[in-house]
Amino acid sequence: MWTPDLALLDALPSPGVLGVLEAAWVVAASCWILLERRSPTATLAWILALAAMPVVGVAVYLVVGPRRLDRKKLRLNVLKRARGAYLEAWDRATARDLSSMGQLARLAIRLQAPPPETARTVVLFSEGDDHFEALERDLAAARHHVHVEMYIFERDRTGARVLAALAAAARRGVQVRLLVDDAGSPRLGAALLAPLREAGGEVERFNPMLVSRLRGGSANFRTHRKIVVCDGRVGFTGGMNVSDDQSAAAVGRSAWRDTTVRIEGAAVHGLQLTFLENWAFATGKTGSPLPAGGLRPYFPDEPPGSHEVQIVPSGPDQDTSTVGQLHVAAIGGARERVWITTPYFVPDEAMLAALTSAALRGVDVRLLLPRRTDSRVVDAASRTYHDALLAAGARIWLYGPRMLHAKTCLVDQDVGMIGTANLDNRSLRLNFEVTAVLYGAPAVQALAELFERDLEVARPKTTREADAPFLSRLGASAARLLAPQL
């Protein structure tokens, strides 16, 4: 019969010693969290979690807790080289009179965004089929390089079409770089990518899940950006991933309604700069992310256009939530209207206060949200914010039957935003995102017309969450506690 080794048991620390070690562990971890200067609510929540579950709490924190990624040296390196590639154009854009674009453009520049530049054409796509046809034409016309950064790149017919177009470009001698998020595109395996690589294309996975900690980052930081740049002259960004979900043939919960913008002209330089920075990080080539030949070919001189566009990147490597500050400032300065389309609406306190204050001032505040998303938890949490907005005078529409995935914002008659960021904590503070800010009536009017067409297949929300059944309200309130990770 087995008997315990009493000598071994005697060698174990006493319960008192274990208690002291546990307390020291919690105090040390709590000090680390305090130094991050989160909101008091988030800080207290993490400290309580560590106190209740010291080992599990720290493990969870290491995966999803860190909210900053130190890439300042890398950013400065890439910015310096990229700016040097088109220094004169950059200086001209920065020195221009920005008064017609208001204080928003200057705020974005202070938040490290490139200055506004002109575009010859700005085209909106609200249907995936039209978008991918235009994308394939531009990929076929590319002569020097194609850069693609995508959160979701699916293993389906649409993904196969785009991969085939990229491989064809590489075979023509075009420099092709594809950057996909490791968490967002898990099914895009080596076999599917082999033809592109064999043709000479380069493929990288952003922040691989299994090795992210080895690089000093966090698996919680994802690139949620959708960027395509062809020859530094044509660029796409917006909500559309590479997926059959965007096709008109998609049905049921697989059918999504999204918005993407195609830009042609010097304004594409901002998208190019945003891609190059993430490519340098993903490849680990902080000193020389691109060939020694220089970056000039990636920022070609472009004739001026009639549209003003500013590309504003954001991410956890910045000291503040750039996309959040941009929205709050725009909403705070609104005088006539604020029309927002977003799939996931779990705003922070600043965003909610800006929206309710605008509505109370008499601004026409409208939110267009999906009737149902792909996350019941997000749906439940989102509902808890509706009553405050409705009480302030804002109006909310619920879109159906397709899943609404567009991310747009209209402010008055002369500012429009199309981007990749949702109005939730993940997009505002954890993900790498990008937003195209449109200044001027023509492009903004097109965005407004698209918003109004969407309202035709949406229904206004009139019921209050406070009138919902008790269990529904309880579940929604519980979901709201998860807002920092939604």
Is 80 among the residues known to form the active site?
no
Q: Catalytic: which of 138, 231, 245, 348?
A: 231
| Side-chain half-sphere CA neighbours of 355 within 13 A | 28
Structure tokens at 19: 């208690």
Chain centroid to CA 351: 16
**What's the CA gap between 45 and 297, in Å, rounded?**
49
DSSP 376-445: HHHHHHHHTTHHHHHHHT-EEEEE-SSEE---EEEETTTEEEEES--BSHIIIIISBEEEEEEESHHHHH
Tokens, residue 259: 């918005």
Q: Exactly one of 145, 147, 224, 307 is catalytic; name it.
A: 224
Question: Could you confirm whether 405 is annotated as catalytic?
Answer: yes
Report which secondary-structure segment, H or E, holds 264: strand 260-264
Query: Is 412 known to be catalytic?
Result: yes
Closest CA to 265 of 225, 227, 230: 230
Q: Which of 145, 307, 386, 405 is catalytic?
A: 405
Contact, 141 vs 326, CB < 8 A? no
- Assess whether 224 carries a catalytic annotation: yes
Structure tokens at 358: 């605008």
Instruction: Write the DSSP assignment of 128-168 as a string of letters.
Output: HHHHHHHHHHHHHH-SSEEEEEES-B-SSHHHHHHHHHHHH
Distance CA 113, CA 16 (A): 54
- Give the list of residues 6+ apart from residue 218 with CB closer than 8 angstroms, or none: 62, 63, 64, 65, 66, 69, 212
Catalytic residue, from 131, 147, 226, 386: name it: 226
Q: Which of 131, 307, 407, 461 is catalytic?
A: 407
Instruction: Report the alpha-carbon distance of residue 260 to residue 408 in Å, rounded.
Output: 10
| Structural tokens at position 399 | 């879109």
Helix axes 376-383, 470-480, angle to 10 degrees: 100
Q: What is the rounded distance in angstroms from the CA atom of residue 388 to the CA atom of residue 446?
A: 30
Q: Catalytic site residue 407?
A: yes
347 contacts: CB under 8 Å, gap ≥ 6: 355, 385, 423, 424
Residue 162: half-sphere exposure toward Cβ, Cα within 13 Å? 27
Give me the residue label for tokens 């969290």: 33
CA–CA distance, 473 with 456 (Å, rounded to integer): 29
- Which residues are registered as beta bridge partners of 338? 365, 411
What distance in Å separates the CA atoms of residue 228 and residue 448, rounded to the nearest whole number?
24
Catalytic residues: 224, 226, 231, 405, 407, 412
